[in-house]
């Protein structure tokens, strides 16, 4: 197992454990602040106490799985061999059903699928013989799809490419933070929001950021395919996902970690490498 493979595994541990911690925090908030332990969730209707108990139990299973995977990774790094590789691969595979069940309960489909893809790729890594190649090709395919589709959709969206989506997010985050939601940064203040939104400089900046985001995602898709050097691709990915944290510093961490892990694996054996001598 190379350093890149170990880094991808650590990113999987981060994504799963962070997502589980968010789920536990949500359950605690509902129990403490909502009458009867019930909450209305968009697209899922009213959720009762029994479902939140099950969600909390699943989050604890995910945290235990993350700790087990981290231990198996340390064991494999300290004593590499068939036995430690088998234990490590088994841990990755056993994470998959928990991740998919969590997807059904929480409804965070895009993030959870990305995490599941990373877990599957790391499970392939433990296969004897062509395991590293299979893991790289698998991750490359899904990383290309992830970044290219996202970038192309942004380019084709007039509202996004004009900067409108970023401005909407800025206003939404400010209102949520003012209402006491700690998931969002408390900037700008509501008393200055109207003045900021009417400034032409904000619209120009948002338009430039939107174009840069779409271009960066398409570039990362091409990098996952094998058309760009890995160091440049990884540097760009870290910068882009770091910028995403400005919009949602807590909720977006699992997605950023999982997508970075996929890209790390993709750079080890990109798809184009399979078709070039």
Average pLDDT rounded to a whole number, residues 229-253: 91
Looking at the predicted structure, is the pLDDT value of residue 106 above 70?
Answer: no
Q: Spell 83-111 as b/e; 16+ CB within 10 A means b.
A: ebbebbbebbeebeebbeebbebbebeeb
Phi, psi of 203 (to 5 degrees): -65, -40
Looking at the predicted structure, is the pLDDT value of residue 214 above 80?
Answer: yes
Average pLDDT rounded to a whole number, residues 129-149: 95
In the prediction, which pLDDT does 182 show? 81
Spatial distance between the Cα atoms of 85 and 90, rounded to a whole number of angstroms: 8
Looking at the predicted structure, is the pLDDT value of residue 60 above 80?
Answer: yes
In the prediction, which pLDDT does 230 show? 93
Phi, psi of 7 (to 5 degrees): -65, -40
Determine which helix (DSSP H) or strand (DSSP E) holds 47, and give its type and residue range: strand 45-47
How does residue 107 score in pLDDT terms, banded at 50, 70 and 90? low
pLDDT in tens, 74-101: 998 888 888 888 898 899 989 999 998 8
pLDDT in tens, 142-172: 999 999 999 999 999 999 999 999 999 999 9
Spatial distance between the Cα atoms of 253 and 15, rounded to a whole number of angstroms: 7
Determine which helix (DSSP H) or strand (DSSP E) holds 41, and give its type and residue range: strand 39-41
Looking at the predicted structure, is the pLDDT value of residue 141 above 80?
Answer: yes
């Amino acid at each position: 197992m190379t350093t890149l493979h170990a880094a991808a595994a650590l990113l999987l541990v981060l994504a799963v454990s962070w997502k589980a911690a968010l789920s536990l925090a949500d359950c605690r908030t509902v129990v403490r602040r909502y009458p009867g332990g019930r909450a209305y969730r968009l697209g899922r209707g009213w959720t009762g106490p029994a479902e939140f108990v099950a969600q909390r139990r699943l989050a604890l299973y995910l945290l235990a799985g993350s700790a087990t995977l981290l231990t198996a990774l340390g064991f494999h790094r300290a004593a590499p061999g068939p036995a430690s590789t088998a234990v490590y691969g088994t841990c990755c595979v056993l994470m998959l059903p928990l991740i998919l069940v969590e997807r059904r309960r929480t409804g965070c489909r895009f993030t959870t699928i990305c995490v599941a893809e990373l877990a599957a790729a790391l499970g392939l890594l433990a296969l004897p013989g062509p395991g590293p190649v299979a893991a790289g090709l698998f991750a490359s395919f899904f990383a290309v799809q992830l970044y290219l589709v996202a970038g192309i959709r942004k380019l084709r969206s007039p509202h996004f490419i004009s900067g409108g989506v970023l401005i909407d997010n800025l206003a939404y985050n400010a209102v949520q933070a003012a209402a006491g939601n700690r998931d969002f940064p408390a900037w700008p203040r509501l008393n200055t929001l109207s003045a900021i939104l009417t400034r032409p400089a904000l619209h120009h900046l948002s338009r430039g950021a939107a174009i840069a985001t779409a271009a960066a995602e398409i570039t990362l898709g091409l990098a996952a395919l094998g058309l760009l050097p890995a160091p440049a691709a990884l540097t760009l990915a870290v910068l882009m996902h770091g910028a995403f944290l400005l919009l949602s510093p807590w909720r977006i961490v699992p997605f950023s970690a999982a997508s970075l892990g996929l890209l790390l694996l993709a750079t080890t054996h990109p798809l184009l490498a399979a078709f070039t001598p």
